């Protein structure tokens, strides 16, 4: 069985300075250490990992999807954690609702543009105008 606290991914680290930091471990073993006042060094990460103070972050929302339903959980689509679904305030829900409506408007505009582009392209193709022939410098 593979240790859940090994391999590539984000880690929450309780550093020797008694602060909590995050670190990303790449597949090749190299580390991304965010910069800042409380940033860890590679040696501090190795020390914390050896002492059991580095814990791999695992998304819990992927496990919440009901395979029998056949559809995706909307909270998973948005990248919201299950905690949001269970504990979010009315204001937080309103904020996400506003965001979803804005995204819906943008997708509608994009869909309309694509439909228009397709219709234009079909007309061009029917008239032999597409694909266009590259211009040549015959008279130059």
Residue 26: count of CB within 10 angstroms of its CB: 10
31 inside domain: yes
4 inside domain: no
64 inside domain: no
69 inside domain: no
83 inside domain: no
Q: Which of 8, 50, 44, 55 is nearest to 29 (CA)?
A: 8
The total of structural domains in the chain comes to 2
Q: Environment class of residue 96 by beta-carbon count within 10 Å: exposed (0-12), middle (13-18) or buried (19+)?
A: middle
Q: What is the pLDDT of residue 95?
A: 80
* Residue 78: partners with Cβ closer than 8 Å, 6 or more residues away: 96, 100
97 inside domain: yes
- Cα three-residue angle 3-80-38, rounded to 5 degrees: 60
Q: What is the pLDDT of residue 62?
A: 47
59 within 8 A of 65, measured Cβ to Cβ? no
Helix locations, 15-89, DSSP H: 42-50, 74-77, 82-87
Residue 46 is part of which domain span? 9-58
Q: What is the pLDDT of residue 119?
A: 92
Q: What is the pLDDT of residues 35-76, one digit of tens each?
A: 777 778 888 888 888 888 888 877 654 445 454 555 556 655
Choice between 106 and 3, residue whose per-residue pLDDT is larger:
106
3 inside domain: no
């Amino acid at each position: 069985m593979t240790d859940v606290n090994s391999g590539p991914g984000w880690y929450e680290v309780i550093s020797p300075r008694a602060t909590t930091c995050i670190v990303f471990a790449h597949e090749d073993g190299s580390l991304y250490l965010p910069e800042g006042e409380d940033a860890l060094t590679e040696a501090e990460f190795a020390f914390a990992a050896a002492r059991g103070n580095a814990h791999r972050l695992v998304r819990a929302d992927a496990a919440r999807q009901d395979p029998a339903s056949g559809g995706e959980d909307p909270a998973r689509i948005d990248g919201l954690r299950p905690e949001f679904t269970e504990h979010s305030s009315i204001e937080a829900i309103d904020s996400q609702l506003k965001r979803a409506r804005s995204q819906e408007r943008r997708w509608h505009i994009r869909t309309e543009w694509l439909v228009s582009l397709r219709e234009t392209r079909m007309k061009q193709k029917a008239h032999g105008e597409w694909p266009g022939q590259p211009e040549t410098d015959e008279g130059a």
